[in-house]
């Protein structure tokens, strides 16, 4: 598929640096997230998974850190974030919650830890629609996928992360459009996954929610989609805070989850 110029520029530079400084280390470079759903909007991240020929030593980790520092030089708020991590190809055949820590970068911070995107959602995205930049086609990789496990993980995520997030939103006097879109499309994406038994994109979740949630939520869903896809606001911040909290509480109630303020 044809990639946006910003994506091609960043991945080309990444590959060139790796080949020059760590020859033979990279075996594959794959993209997931917004790009694999055809939803690369202003503000979208470039999400990558890199497969490697070996576990990195201290010198290799230092080189990777330098590479990502250099990739970030000259970027600004309008530049898509370049987020991802490095694993052995064989790691993809495992439940991602069981694999060892990996070097990676998130929001500009390089670390050796369990990367936030090393998750079942990413594994499923790679298996179903991963974009191959280098290496064998993503469709030929042995990737762990298990829908019941993913649905159970999503229910737990609602009980923990999203319950706390809903309580925090309910306590806010107003809410930015970016946070509103993150909450509305994030929680409805999980709701879709659990109820429909399949992954969808953030925008796909919003459009699904327009037809599957109570009609009173339509204005805040449309506000979230307008911000994600066109950078437009349709609600005032104070009205958005109330409407987002209402939608989140409604979704959680369907799973008998009642957030409490002290969850924050």
Would you list the domain boundaries of the chain?
5-140, 147-263
Answer positive or negative: Cα dihedral of 192, 198, 202, 205.
Answer: negative
pLDDT at site 264: 35
Element containing residue 31 per DSSP (H, E): strand 26-32
- What gap in Å lies between CA 229 and CA 206, rounded to an integer? 11
* Residue 28 confidence (pLDDT): 98
| pLDDT value for 261 | 61
pLDDT of residue 262: 47
Averaged over successive runs of 10 residues, the pLDDT of the chain (264 residues) comes to 90 98 98 95 93 96 97 85 96 92 93 94 97 97 96 95 95 96 98 97 97 98 97 97 97 93 46
At residue 102, the pLDDT reads 92
| Helix residue ranges per DSSP H, the chain | 5-21, 58-72, 120-129, 147-157, 163-170, 177-196, 202-212, 218-230, 237-253
CA dist 82 and 75 (Å) reads 10
CATH number of 5-140: 3.30.460
Its pTM surpasses 0.85: yes
CA geometry: angle 85, 42, 171, nearest 5 deg: 85
């Amino acid at each position: 598929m044809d990639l946006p110029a910003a994506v091609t520029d960043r991945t080309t530079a990444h590959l060139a640096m790796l080949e020059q400084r760590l020859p033979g280390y990279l075996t594959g470079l794959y993209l997931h997230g917004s790009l694999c759903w055809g939803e690369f909007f202003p503000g979208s991240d470039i999400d990558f998974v890199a497969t490697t020929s070996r576990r990195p030593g201290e010198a290799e980790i230092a080189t990777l850190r330098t590479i990502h520092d250099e990739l970030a030089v000259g970027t600004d708020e309008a530049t898509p974030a370049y987020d991802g991590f490095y694993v052995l190809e064989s790691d993809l055949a495992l439940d991602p919650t069981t694999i060892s820590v990996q070097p990676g970068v998130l929001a500009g911070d390089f670390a050796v830890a369990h990367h936030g995107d090393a998750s079942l959602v990413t594994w499923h995205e790679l298996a179903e629609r991963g974009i191959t930049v280098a290496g064998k086609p993503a469709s030929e990789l042995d990737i762990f996928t298990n829908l019941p496990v993913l649905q159970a993980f999503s229910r737990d995520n609602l009980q923990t992360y999203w319950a706390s997030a809903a309580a925090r939103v309910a306590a806010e006097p107003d809410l930015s459009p970016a946070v509103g879109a993150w909450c509305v499309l994030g929680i409805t994406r999980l709701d879709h996954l659990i109820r429909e038994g399949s992954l969808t994109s953030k925008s796909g979740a919003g459009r699904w929610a327009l037809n599957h949630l109570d009609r009173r939520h339509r204005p805040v869903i449309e506000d979230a989609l307008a911000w994600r896809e066109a950078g437009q606001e349709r609600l005032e911040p104070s009205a958005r805070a109330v409407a987002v909290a209402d939608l989140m509480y409604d979704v959680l109630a369907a799973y008998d989850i009642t957030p409490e303020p002290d969850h924050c």
